[in-house]
């Protein structure tokens, strides 16, 4: 069973709230078996709905779904076809616009050797990226946004140097992850390098341009998460970070880096805020 903290992060990725109290109630060390029993959903449901609303009740069911996902992973181990069939049959794997993080992906990151701190960052970027993706008025592949964001720093399991993009993409390939995700790892360094920058950093010279909106959303979310959680600049949550994005990048060298990088981030920010119909540009 995933520790309760994972449930808090996936709740945030779906609803923006962690439902911490609800998840620790479900995972009560003494009563967790009866609280994870599907046949008790009806009995517990009414009280949960009264206390946390319909969304809370859904998060209770999502908690059970995620645990079932992890259990099935353990039972069937490497027999992916059998597992996939069960995941679809019982609605354990979610597709489409309501995509939420997959426990199997989180386990993959842990097994690859990612530190708890880097995993926490990845989960936050995924949550932020999914939130942005839900708000843009455009056709967005939610699964690509969620998984791409979750895996963008996979290479940090091996190094925190600038090569972590390249190394992550190689690791992703070896793990059999889709190319659409591997290129996100490779291209996420400084939000998509120009050939001149790649040369300067000693990275392979190729096209790192972010061609897909999904990729740009992930990069934007990555920047926002650093701003929100680093503590370098005082910000009042995600909305404030978005509103003051250009000011913060202009004043903090850590975020803006240099003119080329800063302008690239500004471009993503303006495009995405525009797609959300916001005036926070």
Query: CB of residue 171 vs Fe ion: minimum separation in angstroms?
Result: 13
Which helix (H) or strand (E) covers residue 25, if one does? helix 20-26
Residue 59 is a binding residue for Fe ion (CB under 5 A): no
Query: CB of residue 125 vs Fe ion: minimum separation in angstroms?
Result: 6
Token reading at 204: 């392979």
| CA distances from residue 236 to 10, 242, 246, 249 in whole angstroms, order as listed | 22, 10, 15, 16
Query: CB of residue 215 vs Fe ion: minimum separation in angstroms?
Result: 13
Contact segment (CB under 5 A) with Fe ion among 59-67, 100-108, 145-153, 239-247 equals: 145-153
Closer residue to Fe ion in complex, CB, 37/200: 200
**Is the separation of the CB atoms in 20 and 59 below 8 Å?**
no
Residue 153 is a binding residue for Fe ion (CB under 5 A): yes
Residue 215 is a binding residue for Fe ion (CB under 5 A): no
Query: CB of residue 164 vs Fe ion: minimum separation in angstroms?
Result: 6
Q: Which of 67, 222, 224, 269 binds Fe ion (CB under 5 A)?
A: 222
Query: CB of residue 250 vs Fe ion: minimum separation in angstroms?
Result: 21
Residues in CB range of 75: below 8 A, 6 or more apart: none
Closer residue to Fe ion in complex, CB, 161/253: 161
SS (H, E, C) 169-222: HHHHHHHCCCHHHHHHHHHCHHHCCCHHHHHHHCCCCCCCCCCCHHHHHHHHHH
| Positions in the binding site for Fe ion (CB under 5 A) | 153, 222
């Amino acid at each position: 069973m995933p520790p309760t903290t994972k449930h808090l992060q996936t709740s945030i990725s779906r609803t923006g709230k962690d439902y911490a109290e609800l998840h620790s109630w479900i995972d009560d060390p003494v009563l967790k078996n009866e609280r994870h029993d599907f046949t008790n959903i009806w009995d517990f449901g009414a009280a949960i709905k009264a206390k946390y609303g319909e969304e809370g009740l859904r998060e209770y069911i999502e908690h059970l779904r995620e645990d079932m996902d992890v259990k099935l992973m353990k039972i069937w181990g490497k027999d992916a076809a059998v597992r996939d069939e069960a995941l679809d049959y019982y609605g354990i794997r979610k597709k489409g616009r309501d995509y939420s993080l997959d426990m199997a992906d989180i386990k993959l990151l842990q097994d690859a050797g990612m530190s708890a701190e880097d995993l926490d960052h990845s989960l936050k970027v995924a949550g932020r990226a999914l939130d942005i993706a839900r708000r843009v008025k455009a056709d967005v592949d939610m699964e690509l946004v969620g998984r791409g964001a979750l895996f963008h720093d996979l290479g940090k399991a091996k190094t925190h140097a600038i090569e972590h993009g390249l190394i992550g993409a190689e690791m992703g390939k070896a793990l059999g992850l889709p190319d659409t995700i591997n290129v996100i790892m490779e291209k996420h360094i400084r939000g998509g390098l120009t050939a001149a920058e790649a040369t300067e950093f000693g990275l392979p010279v190729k096209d790192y341009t972010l061609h897909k909106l999904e990729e740009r959303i992930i990069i934007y979310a990555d920047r926002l998460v650093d701003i929100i959680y680093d503590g370098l600049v005082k910000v009042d949550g995600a909305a404030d970070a978005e509103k003051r994005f250009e000011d913060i990048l202009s004043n903090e060298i850590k975020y803006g880096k240099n003119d080329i990088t800063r302008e690239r981030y500004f471009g993503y920010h303006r495009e995405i805020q525009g797609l959300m119909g916001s005036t926070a540009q």
